[in-house]
Amino acid sequence: MDVVKFGLQLGYWMMGPEDPIELVKLAEDVGFDSVWTAEAYGSDAISYLSWVGARTSRIKLGTSVVQISARTPACTAMTAMTMDHLSGGRLILGIGVSGPQVVEGWYGQPFPRPMARTREFIELLRTMLKREGPVTFDGNHYQLPLDGGSGLG
């Protein structure tokens, strides 16, 4: 039997007096499975979810897209682990590449081979989330420890 789950999409946290927490609490009370946030210029998804997660207890907390150009794999892993711990295991992490306008224009990062970068990012993220030991990686887009660095990593 298929189960239908309902999610509430909040979108971006925009400037203004509107606080969606009463809507989120109502969604949780009537049995919605999840609430979702996104990020764009000036608004990140995780801070928004932290605000929501601190005021709810059961509803899952999802990021529609956390942009990989905005964070390293290690930063994303640490943020996800912290958010999941603080929320009692409610985080659903969605990641994505955005587009060249945002990546190059807002983050000042190159936008080469987005699918290959995403594959490496996910591989690193999964390894880091397992927490099985020191992480080394020799990819085309990510290297751990940094090649040519101090050697202390």
Which pLDDT tens digit goes with each residue over 20-36? 899 999 999 999 999 99
Q: Answer positive or negative: Cα dihedral of 60, 130, 122, 135.
A: positive
pLDDT at position 149: 83
Weakest mean pLDDT among 12-16, 24-28, 122-126: 12-16
So what's the pLDDT on residue 28? 98
Is the C-alpha dihedral spanning 143, 122, 49, 87 positive or negative?
Answer: negative
Buried b (16+ CB within 10 A) or exposed e, 54-77: eebeebbbbbbbbbbbbbebeebb
Tens of pLDDT, residue by residue over 46-87, are 998 999 999 999 999 999 989 999 999 999 999 999 999 999
pLDDT score, position 15: 58
Distance between CA atoms of residues 103 and 84, nearest Å: 26
Assess whether pLDDT exceeds 70 at residue 16.
no
Task: Tell me the per-residue pLDDT of 82-104, one tens digit each, with 9 for 90 and over.
Answer: 999 999 999 999 999 989 998 99
**Which residue has 């509803």 as its token pair?**
59
More confident residue, 57 or 42: 57
Q: Model confidence at 14, in pLDDT bands (50, 70, 90)?
A: low
Average pLDDT rounded to a whole number, residues 125-133: 95
pTM: 0.89
For residue 9, give the 3-state DSSP assignment.
Answer: strand
CB 87 within 8 A of CB 53: yes
Which residues in the chain belong to E strands, given as ranges? 7-11, 34-37, 60-63, 66-67, 91-92, 95-96, 137-138, 143-144
- pLDDT band (50, 70, 90) for residue 17: low
Measured distance CA(1)–CA(115) in Å, rounded = 35
